[in-house]
């Protein structure tokens, strides 16, 4: 059982308790523990089975919650959670998928109007019954009605790369908007989360009406959900929501900090402010003296954080994980940047499923300032991609030797292969072939539904192979399309450490594998990460920045990433053949 699955169970308990109007402190305990467990870098399942006494050492996890974790891991379920589910109609849980309808509102709808399904809720809204409930009103009723259509696709989130394309279009659209003095995005997009649920825009504008009119005229606008004097929300033709807020110049930094989040990060910031007799919100930082509040700061994020003696945290770091501990110790890491990368060690050519030649990939890499690349076409098991047989491998590597002679000084093409880990275990190519390569990637492409122990054993076998350099996309997930396969990453970390092997952060925006929590765990284990593009074309080399963003969310620095080194330096990190 993964940390995320345990956290999901605790989140569900919190939702069901809140639905039943249980003690808010109890609800908060489960909610906070879910967040803590979801981001915990070590395997809770391993701790629960090997050193369960350590569970109570986790912040916010007492004896009762620790016992529930153990029970979940050992049995796969919780009697307490089952009891709560039996007390709440399953159909009612669908209400929670509607934007703006949390457990409290769902409970009110169910108890006061007898609503248990989305169809019943739609009918109640159309008959204007919802607006009469305490805490709802006409506007809430309209928002709920609009949100019901989206409930069936509540999981719809854009990949960060897709959201970035939309954000760039909006920047261009607002570029010459009269009176707009400052323009920035907040939310999960600014924090670099791998998927984004909506876009938050903050602007300083002399004329709020002009700014909102400009958003309404955006070519992708389908509906205006709501519009007030300084706030506006629209939905694009794809159903994606964009929110605009016009703020005063003296509040811009405070609003940007507030709406960037994360919520958990901001809770700590507000707590620190309160301890200093200050109040922080989206309008600024205020000194509180009795009933009087005096403006202190707010024009910039740096000013807001400075009032608390804090550095201006990079947005990617604001997840209430370790950033405050790092700041307190004066050890805020200098996060990796795209310019730190010297080589790309995972790419394909038209020899298999790529579209460019070796020379074209090399030229594109040189144009991007890289000093080395590895050509890593698929091995023969990937027959649908015309994977390389042993003979074709040797032939391609001879060609690379020839092409290298014509490369400029300081640039090198490595002879590589992305070699499949077979379903039965073992490598797709014999060791005498792999021994001829400069760089060998081990990958799982088939048998991804095998049991956890079997997939783990296959990967551990590959790591133990003396010729393997790195494991690619170690969990096999495809964002919004395919869940990660079951694998014991703690065992993978231990084996990689023992054998001196590297793990990949695949920068393809549909993969971003490893994820940020797994990357932080790998760093904790001392495993160097390789950030690769897995490019299948020359344009594919451009995805590197998505991997860098993911690495920054994990707190990785230049020294944590292997391909920030020269090739000769990197070779020393890999276990000896």
List pLDDT tens digits, range 29-78.
898 888 788 767 788 988 999 988 999 988 789 999 999 999 999 988 89
Are residues 295 and 390 both part of a single domain? no
Same domain, 233 and 272: no
DSSP 88: S
d(CA 577, CA 566): 20
Confidence of residue 403 (pLDDT cuts 50, 70, 90): very high
pLDDT tens, residue by residue, 251-310: 999 999 999 999 999 999 999 999 999 999 999 999 999 999 999 999 999 999 999 999
Radius of gyration of the chain (CA): 26
Which DSSP letter does residue 132 get?
G
Same-domain pairing of 147 and 163: no
> Which CATH number is 9's domain given?
1.10.150.110
Residue 229 lies inside a defined structural domain of this protein: yes
pLDDT band, very low/low/confident/very high, at 99 (cuts 50, 70, 90): low
Q: What is the pTM of this model?
A: 0.80
The answer on 362 and 483 residing in a single domain is: yes
User: Is pLDDT larger for residue 138 or for residue 311?
Assistant: 311
Closest CA to 261 of 313, 296, 327, 226: 313
Note whether 324 and 403 are same-domain residues: no
Torsion angle of C-alpha atoms 426, 427, 430, 434, degrees rounded to 10: -140
Report the domain count for the chain: 4
Res. 101: pLDDT tops 80: no
Q: Does 484 fall in a domain?
A: yes
Higher pLDDT, 120 or 494: 494
Q: Is residue 510 a contact partner of residue 159, using CB atoms and an 8 Å limit? A: yes
Plot region of 106 (φ>0 → left; ψ -120 to 50 → alpha; else → beta): alpha
The CATH number given to whatever domain includes residue 286 is 3.30.210.10
Q: Return the beta strands (E) in 20-157 as ranges.
A: none
pLDDT tier, 396 (very low <50, low <70, confident <90, very high otherwise): very high
What mean pLDDT is predicted for residues 436-460? 96
Q: Is 295 inside any structural domain?
A: yes
Residues 508 and 194 sit within 8 Å (Cβ to Cβ): no
* DSSP per-residue letters across 182-206: EEEE-HHHHTT-SEESEEEEEEEES
For residue 546, which of 507, 513, 518, 520 has the smallest C-alpha distance? 507
CATH code of 351's domain = 3.20.20.140
- CA max distance for the chain: 81
- Alpha helices by DSSP H, listed for 368-478, are 390-404, 431-434, 452-464
The per-residue pLDDT for range 69-88, each reduced to its tens digit, is 999 999 888 999 989 888 87
Q: Are 422 and 416 in contact (CB under 8 A)?
A: no
Whole-angstrom distance, CA of residue 312 vs CA of residue 87? 46
Same-domain status, 315 and 402 = no
Give yes or no: residues 99 and 60 share one domain: yes
Share of the chain above pLDDT 70, in %: 96
State the helix-helix crossing angle for 544-553 and 160-174, rounded to 10 degrees: 100
Same domain, 510 and 401: yes
Give the 3-state secondary structure of residue 319.
coil
Containing domain of residue 172, as a range? 158-246
- Cα 481–chain centre separation: 15
pLDDT digits (tens, 9 = 90+) for 473-495: 999 998 877 789 999 999 999 99
Question: Is 333 a member of any domain?
Answer: no
- The answer, yes or no, to whether residue 23 has pLDDT greater than 50, is yes
504 has pLDDT over 60: yes
The CA distance from 17 to 15, in Å, is: 6
pLDDT of residue 97: 67
Say whether both 147 and 38 belong to one domain.
yes
Residue at a domain's end among 111, 132, 151: 151
Q: pLDDT value at position 155?
A: 47
Q: Find the CATH number of the domain harbouring 206.
A: 3.30.460.10
185 lies in a domain?
Answer: yes
Place of tokens 């990368």: 341
Neighbour tally for 476: CB within 10 Å: 20
* Residues 493 and 373 reside in one and the same domain: yes
Evaluate whether residue 577 is within a structural domain: no
Query: Is the Cβ–Cβ distance between 7 and 32 less than 8 Å?
Result: no
Which of 304, 328, 352 is the C-terminal boundary of a domain?
328
Q: Looking at the structure, do residues 320 and 346 belong to the same domain, yes or no?
A: no
Within a domain: 261? yes
Residues 233 and 259 in one domain: no
Query: Among residues 216, 246, 276, which one ends one of the domains?
Result: 246
User: Is 263 among the domain residues?
Assistant: yes
Cis peptide preceding 192, ω within 30 of 0: no
The confidence band for 568, taking pLDDT boundaries of 50, 70 and 90, is very high
């Amino acid at each position: 059982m993964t940390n995320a699955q345990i956290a999901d169970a605790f989140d569900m308990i919190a939702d069901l308790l809140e639905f039943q109007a249980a003690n808010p402190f109890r609800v908060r305990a489960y909610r906070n523990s879910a967040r803590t467990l979801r981001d915990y870098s070590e395997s809770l399942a391993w701790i629960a089975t090997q050193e369960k006494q350590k569970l109570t050492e986790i912040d916010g996890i007492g004896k009762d919650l620790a016992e529930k974790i153990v029970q979940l891991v050992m049995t796969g379920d919780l009697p307490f959670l089952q009891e709560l589910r039996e007390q709440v109609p399953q159909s009612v849980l669908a209400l929670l998928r509607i934007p703006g309808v949390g457990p409290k509102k769902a409970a009110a709808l169910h108890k006061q109007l007898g609503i248990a399904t989305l169809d019943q809720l739609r009918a109640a809204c159309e008959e204007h019954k919802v607006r009469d409930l305490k805490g709802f009103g006409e506007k809430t009723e309209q928002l709920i009605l609009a949100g019901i259509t989206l409930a069936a696709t509540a999981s719809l989130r854009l990949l960060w790369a897709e959201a970035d394309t939309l954000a760039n279009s909006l920047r261009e659209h607002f570029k010459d908007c009269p009176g707009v003095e400052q323009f920035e995005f907040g939310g999960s997009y600014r924090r670099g989360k791998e998927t984004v649920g909506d876009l938050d825009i903050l602007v300083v504008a002399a004329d709020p009406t002009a700014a909102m009119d400009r958003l309404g005229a955006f070519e992708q606008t389908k509906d205006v959900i709501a519009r007030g004097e300084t706030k506006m929300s629209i939905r694009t033709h794809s159903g994606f929501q964009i929110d605009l807020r016009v703020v005063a110049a003296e509040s811009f930094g405070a609003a940007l900090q507030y709406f960037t989040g994360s919520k958990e990060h901001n809770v700590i910031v507000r707590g620190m402010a309160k301890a200093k007799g200050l109040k922080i919100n989206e309008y600024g930082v205020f000194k509180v003296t009795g009933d009087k509040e005096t403006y202190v700061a707010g024009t910039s994020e740096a000013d807001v954080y400075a009032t608390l003696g804090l550095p201006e945290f990079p947005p990617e770091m604001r997840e209430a994980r370790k950033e405050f501990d790092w700041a307190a110790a004066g050890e805020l890491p200098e996060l990796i940047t795209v310019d730190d990368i010297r080589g790309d060690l995972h790419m394909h050519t038209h020899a298999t499923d790529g579209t460019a030649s070796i020379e074209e990939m090399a030229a594109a890499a040189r144009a991007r300032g890289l000093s080395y690349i590895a050509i890593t076409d698929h091995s023969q098991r990937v027959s649908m991609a015309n994977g390389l047989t042993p003979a074709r491998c040797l032939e391609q590597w001879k060609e690379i030797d020839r092409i290298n002679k014509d490369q400029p000084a300081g640039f090198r093409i490595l002879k590589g292969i992305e070699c499949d880990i077979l379903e039965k275990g073992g490598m797709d190519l014999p060791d005498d072939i792999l021994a001829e390569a400069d760089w060998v990637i081990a990958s799982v492409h088939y048998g991804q539904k095998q049991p956890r122990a079997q997939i783990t054993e296959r990967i551990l076998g590959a790591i133990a192979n003396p010729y393997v350099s790195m494991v690619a996309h170690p969990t096999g997930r495809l964002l919004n399309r395919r869940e990660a396969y079951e694998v014991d990453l703690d065992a993978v970390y231990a084996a990689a450490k023992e054998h001196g092997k590297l793990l990949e952060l695949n920068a393809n925006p549909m993969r971003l594998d490893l994820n940020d929590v797994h990357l932080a765990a790998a760093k904790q284990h001392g495993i160097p990460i390789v950030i690769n593009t897995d490019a299948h074309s020359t344009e594919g080399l451009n995805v590197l920045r998505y991997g860098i963003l993911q690495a920054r969310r994990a707190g990785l620095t230049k020294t944590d990433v292997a391909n920030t080194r020269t090739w000769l330096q990197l070779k020393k990190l890999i276990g000896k053949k």
